[in-house]
């Protein structure tokens, strides 16, 4: 539009009550739509949870949670899956946490903005965006494959699964730890440095303790992420049927998410084990959402404390 | 014993190494993908035989994916089109839903409602993909079969709906952050000129946060392309270029996950070809992420001055 043509005012903004009402109405209509979007999201969550609880709850019993699977996983309990998921998620967290926290400390406490920092950040965000099946293939070619094929020769095992998952959750841990470090006020650092402490002493004795709740949140979130991951453990750790508990970290394990997949898709008669699938899903969802809820509560408490 | 200064230096270097771990990890992933994918194109020797590679163009644009037939064909166009269509369809659902939710959270919701809705979105994001796939398989598929005259309940539409609900939280949280970071003065200025709240959102807040919204959409789509379990379980698995939204499709991640178990390690074309698909998939998500990063950096708002 040509700027010296002043045709705007009269034509577009008539000052009548009807026009005002129409603008208000338009606003209300759009706001209703926005609320509708939120309701759809909420419904999606509650419908999915509702189905899992309604059909899954009847399948759950003490024997189901603590029993061995029988008939090739088509009946019996899911204890080995729970144990497997526990090993995989705790193991991967234990591997990724020190690395991730250290990386976050470097990024937030030491690094100066510049090209190197930009590259590291780019790598972290790209690592977070790598499809989980690609992690699975990477783990297979690197950790699982025999040495003469260019891998580390761990075989399909807990160890290989944990390492693959550790790479997958590394960005989660770095992100949340950095947020935790950012929430520590600079005055803490200044006070400690002012008293003559070195940078490392300041970080270790002042900054890290204050950031601990945030770091804990991150580790809980990463455990829950690892626990629900399927594609990354398919070729690195998971066995579809292995009723005995693993005796070493070089054993294959059953895992909850892989169990759901293998029963519902690749078994010969998925209908027959449907209650079992719902029950397993309910257990997994409860674990994952429970951990997320805990993380959310810790974080909101932390934020409240900070804003005071 | 190290002097205090040297100790500090050593510690700094240790942290630097930890921070470089993500560069190393990404490098290793690329190395292994390329290393295992190359024999697809260059050919390889296995069990005393030489296998010819396929050309890159034939691989990408070939329209027949028949890895286990007598006369195997290695065209991944049907898989690429499967991924593309599923992603487009799920974005049509997820983008409006995610952005509208973000606008509601950042601009309209009272504090109390926000404190309930935000965790809800986070919980939706944390649902394991295998559970969403399972839900699509046992709940949504029969409903689709009832509603429409179709042969398969597991199809492109089903997969797209499920993927949409996985992409919505990603889009919502990034979009909300960017809307939230629009300076308050801009809103106040607009409201003071007599604009309604909606007019302010549409004409002032959304344009000001456009780069963040783009980042949100790109990352949401990148998540849909790479999501594996959902498309493995509910996309139908037919390696054909789809003609309708009710056709079963076989997106790239589904093909990799479904077939890798049947191949023998490093000995046959099928194995290398699956790695080549993974490499293509990786490159696509990598480009999406670079694009998102580029937009986020280039159009970064610094206060209200840069508008």
C-alpha A145/C-alpha A164 separation (Å) is 13
Dihedral of CA atoms B55, B59, B63, B65 in degrees, nearest 10, equals: 120
Chain B residues near residue A111 by CB distance under 8 angstroms: 19
Residue B50 covered by a domain: no
Angle A274-307/B111-126 helices, nearest 10 degrees?
A: 140
Residue B101 covered by a domain: yes
Angle B77-103/B269-298 helices, nearest 10 degrees?
A: 30
Shared-domain flag, residues A74 and A36: no
Of the candidates A276, A225, A215, A291, the residue with the CA atom closest to the CA atom of residue A70 = A276
Shared-domain flag, residues A81 and A153: yes
Q: What is the pLDDT of residues A192-207, one digit of tens each?
A: 999 999 889 999 999 9
Using the Cβ of A85 and the Cβ atoms of chain B, whether some distance falls under 8 Å is answered with no
> What is residue A222's predicted lDDT score, i.e. its pLDDT?
92
Give me the phi and psi of B207, to 5 degrees please: -60, -35
Shared-domain flag, residues A45 and A132: no
Burial B243-255 (b: 16+ CB within 10 A, else e): eebbbbbbbbbbb
Instruction: Note down the domain range covering A218.
Output: 60-307
Q: Which of B199, B223, B233 sits opposite A261 (nearest CB)?
A: B233
DSSP run (H or E) holding B51: strand B49-51
Give me the phi and psi of B109, to 5 degrees please: -60, 135
The predicted complex's ipTM stands at 0.90
> What is residue B302's predicted lDDT score, i.e. its pLDDT?
56
If you ran DSSP here, which 8-state letter would residue A273 be given? Answer: G
How many CB atoms sit inside 10 A of residue B83's CB? 28
Confidence of residue B104 (pLDDT cuts 50, 70, 90): very high
Q: What is the pLDDT of residues A201-234, one digit of tens each?
A: 999 999 999 999 889 988 999 999 999 999 999 9
CA-to-CA separations, A245 to A85, A87, B190, in angstroms, rounded = 12, 11, 65
C-alpha B263/C-alpha A41 separation (Å) is 40
Instruction: Give pairs for B291-298: CB < 8 Å, separation 24+.
Output: B291/B218, B292/A125, B292/B214, B292/B215, B292/B218, B292/B219, B292/B222, B293/A122, B293/A125, B295/B211, B295/B214, B295/B215, B295/B218, B296/B211, B296/B212, B296/B215, B298/B211
CA A108 vs. chain centroid, Å, equals: 22
Residue A35 covered by a domain: yes
DSSP run (H or E) holding B44: strand B44-46
Residue A10 covered by a domain: no
If you ran DSSP here, which 8-state letter would residue A245 be given? Answer: P
Suggest the residue from B4, B25, B220 to mutate for an interface test with chain A (most A CBs closer than 10 A): B25
Interface of B with A in 259-298 (CB under 8 A): 260-261, 265-266, 274-275, 278, 281-282, 285-286, 288-290, 292-293
DSSP run (H or E) holding A224: helix A208-228
Residue in B closest to A136 by C-alpha: B257
Shared-domain flag, residues A24 and A125: no
Residue A146 CB contacts under 8 Å (≥ 6 apart), including other chains: A153
* Token pair belonging to A87: 């090993």
Interface of A with B in 91-150 (CB under 8 A): 98-99, 102-103, 105-107, 109-111, 119-120, 122-127, 129-138, 140-142, 145, 149-150
- Give the CATH number, domain containing residue A146: 1.10.3720.10
> What is residue A213's predicted lDDT score, i.e. its pLDDT?
87
Shared-domain flag, residues A49 and A72: no
Q: What is the pLDDT of residues B144-177, one digit of tens each?
A: 988 888 888 888 999 999 999 999 999 999 999 9
> What is residue B217's predicted lDDT score, i.e. its pLDDT?
94
Q: Which of A106, A126, A258 sits opposite B26 (nearest CB)?
A: A126
Residue B14 covered by a domain: no
Kindly determine whether residue B15 and residue A105, on different chains, have CB atoms separated by under 8 Å: yes
Shared-domain flag, residues A112 and A246: yes
CA B145 vs. chain centroid, Å, equals: 27
Suggest the residue from B6, B14, B15, B250 to mutate for an interface test with chain A (most A CBs closer than 10 A): B15
Shared-domain flag, residues A123 and A49: no
Distance of residue A68 Cα from the nearest chain B Cα, in angstroms = 22
> What is residue A38's predicted lDDT score, i.e. its pLDDT?
93
Q: What is the pLDDT of residues B184-222, one digit of tens each?
A: 999 999 999 988 899 999 999 999 898 899 999 999 999
Angle A274-307/A17-56 helices, nearest 10 degrees?
A: 130
Residue in B closest to A277 by C-alpha: B134
Q: Which of A33, A123, A141 sits opposite B32 (nearest CB)?
A: A141
Kindly determine whether residue B130 and residue A228, on different chains, have CB atoms separated by under 8 Å: yes
Q: Identify the weakest region by mean pLDDT among A136-140, A249-253, B288-292.
A: A249-253
Shared-domain flag, residues A77 and A20: no
Burial B180-214 (b: 16+ CB within 10 A, else e): eebeeebbeebeeeebbbbbbbbebbbebbebbbb
Residue B34 covered by a domain: no
Shared-domain flag, residues A162 and A246: yes
Residue A1 covered by a domain: no
* Token pair belonging to A178: 């950095």
Q: Which residues pair with B65 in a beta bridge?
A: B74
Q: Which of B23, B100, B126 sits opposite A288 (nearest CB)?
A: B126
Contact A191, A217 (CB under 8 A): no
Residue A41 covered by a domain: yes
- Give the CATH number, domain containing residue B189: 1.10.3720.10
Burial class (CB in 10 A: 0-12, 13-18, 19+), A248: exposed
C-alpha A89/C-alpha A215 separation (Å) is 16
Chain A residues near residue B36 by CB distance under 8 angstroms: 137, 141
Shared-domain flag, residues A44 and A169: no
If you ran DSSP here, which 8-state letter would residue A111 be given? Answer: P
Suggest the residue from B14, B36, B96, B128 to mutate for an interface test with chain A (most A CBs closer than 10 A): B128
Residue A7 has pLDDT above 50, yes or no: no
C-alpha A220/C-alpha A198 separation (Å) is 31
Contact A52, A278 (CB under 8 A): yes
Residue A3 covered by a domain: no
Using left for φ > 0, alpha for ψ between -120 and 50, and beta otherwise, residue B162 falls in alpha
Instruction: Note down the domain range covering B198.
Output: 77-298
Confidence of residue A15 (pLDDT cuts 50, 70, 90): low
Q: Which of B16, B35, B196 sits opposite A106 (nearest CB)?
A: B16
Q: Which residues pair with A69 in a beta bridge?
A: A76
* Token pair belonging to A179: 């947020």
Residue A8 has pLDDT above 50, yes or no: no
> What is residue B94's predicted lDDT score, i.e. its pLDDT?
95
Residue B266 covered by a domain: yes
If you ran DSSP here, which 8-state letter would residue A68 be given? Answer: P
Residue A80 CB contacts under 8 Å (≥ 6 apart), including other chains: A68, A69, A242, A243, A244, A245, A253, A254
Chain A residues near residue B8 by CB distance under 8 angstroms: 198-200
Residue B54 covered by a domain: no
Residue B16 covered by a domain: no
Q: What is the pLDDT of residues B8-29, one digit of tens each?
A: 888 989 999 999 988 999 999 9
Q: What is the pLDDT of residues B58-74, one digit of tens each?
A: 888 888 888 877 788 88
C-alpha A277/C-alpha B135 separation (Å) is 11
Boundary-marking domain end, from A58, A82, A109: A58
Chain B residues near residue A137 by CB distance under 8 angstroms: 32-33, 36, 256, 260, 274-275, 278
How many CB atoms sit inside 10 A of residue A139's CB? 31
Residue B48 has pLDDT above 90, yes or no: no
Give me the phi and psi of A70, to 5 degrees please: -130, 170
Helical ranges in chain B per DSSP H: 4-42, 56-61, 77-103, 111-126, 129-135, 141-147, 156-180, 184-192, 197-200, 206-208, 210-226, 229-234, 252-259, 269-298
Q: How many domains does chain B have?
A: 1
Q: What is the pLDDT of residues B120-139, one digit of tens each?
A: 998 999 999 999 999 999 99
Q: How many domains does chain A have?
A: 2
Shared-domain flag, residues A48 and A184: no
Shared-domain flag, residues A160 and A220: yes
Confidence of residue B49 (pLDDT cuts 50, 70, 90): confident
């Amino acid at each position: 539009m040509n700027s010296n043509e002043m045709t705007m005012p009269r034509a577009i903004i008539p000052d009548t009550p009807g026009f005002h009402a129409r603008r208000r109405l338009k606003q209300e209509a759009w706001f209703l739509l926005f609320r509708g979007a939120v309701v759809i999201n909420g419904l999606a969550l509650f419908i999915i949870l509702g189905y899992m609880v309604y059909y899954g709850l009847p399948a759950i019993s003490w024997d189901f949670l603590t029993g061995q699977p029988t008939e090739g996983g088509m009946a019996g309990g899911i204890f080995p899956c729970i144990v497997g998921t526990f090993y995989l998620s705790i193991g991967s967290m234990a591997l990724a946490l020190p690395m991730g926290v250290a990386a976050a400390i470097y990024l937030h406490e030491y690094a100066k903005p510049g090209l190197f920092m930009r590259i590291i950040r780019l790598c972290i965000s790209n690592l977070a965006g790598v499809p989980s099946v690609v992690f699975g293939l990477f783990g297979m070619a690197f950790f699982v494959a025999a040495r003469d094929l260019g891998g580390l020769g761990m075989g399909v095992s807990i160890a290989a699964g944990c390492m693959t998952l550790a790479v997958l959750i590394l960005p989660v841990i770095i992100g949340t730890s950095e947020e935790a470090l950012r929430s520590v006020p600079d005055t803490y650092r200044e006070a400690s440095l002012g008293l003559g402490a070195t940078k490392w002493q300041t970080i270790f004795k002042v900054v890290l303790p204050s950031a601990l709740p945030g770091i804990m949140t991150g580790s809980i979130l990463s455990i829950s992420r690892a626990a629900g991951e399927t594609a990354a453990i398919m070729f690195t750790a998971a066995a579809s049927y292995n009723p005995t508990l693993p005796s070493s970290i070089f054993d294959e394990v059953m895992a909850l998410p892989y169990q759901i997949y293998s029963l519902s898709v690749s078994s010969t008669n998925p209908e027959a084990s449907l209650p079992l699938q719902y029950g397993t899903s309910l257990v997994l969802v409860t674990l994952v959402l429970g951990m997320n809820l805990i993380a959310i509560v810790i974080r909101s408490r932390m934020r409240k404390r900070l804003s005071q | 014993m190290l002097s205090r200064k040297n100790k500090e230096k050593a510690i700094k270097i240790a942290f630097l190494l930890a921070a470089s771990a993500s560069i190393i990890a990404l490098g290793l992933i690329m190395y292994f993908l390329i290393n295992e994918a190359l024999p697809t194109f260059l050919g390889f020797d296995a069990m005393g035989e030489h296998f010819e590679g396929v050309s890159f163009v034939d691989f990408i644009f070939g329209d027949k994916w028949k890895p286990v037939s007598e006369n195997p064909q290695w065209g991944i166009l049907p898989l690429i089109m499967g991924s593309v269509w599923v992603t487009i369809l799920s974005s049509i659902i997820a983008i409006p839903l995610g952005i509208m939710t973000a606008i509601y959270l950042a601009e309209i919701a009272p504090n109390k409602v926000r404190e309930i809705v935000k965790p809800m979105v986070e919980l939706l994001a944390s649902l394991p993909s295998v559970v969403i796939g399972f839900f699509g398989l046992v709940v949504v598929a029969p409903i689709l079969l009832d509603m429409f005259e179709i042969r398969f309940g597991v199809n492109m539409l089903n997969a797209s709906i499920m993927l949409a609900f996985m992409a919505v939280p990603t889009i919502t949280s990034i979009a909300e952050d960017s809307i939230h970071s629009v300076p308050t003065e801009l809103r106040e200025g607009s409201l003071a000129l007599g604009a309604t709240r909606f007019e302010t959102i549409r004409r002032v807040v959304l344009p000001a946060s456009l780069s963040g919204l783009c980042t949100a959409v790109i990352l949401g789509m990148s998540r849909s392309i790479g999501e594996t379990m959902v498309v493995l379980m509910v996309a139908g698995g037919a390696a054909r270029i789809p003609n309708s939204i009710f056709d079963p499709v076989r997106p790239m991640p589904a093909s990799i996950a479904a077939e890798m178990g049947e191949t023998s390690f490093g000995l046959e074309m099928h194995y290398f070809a699956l790695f080549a698909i993974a490499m293509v998939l990786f490159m696509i998500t990598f480009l999406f992420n670079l694009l998102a990063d580029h937009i986020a950096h280039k159009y970064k708002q610094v206060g209200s001055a840069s508008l």
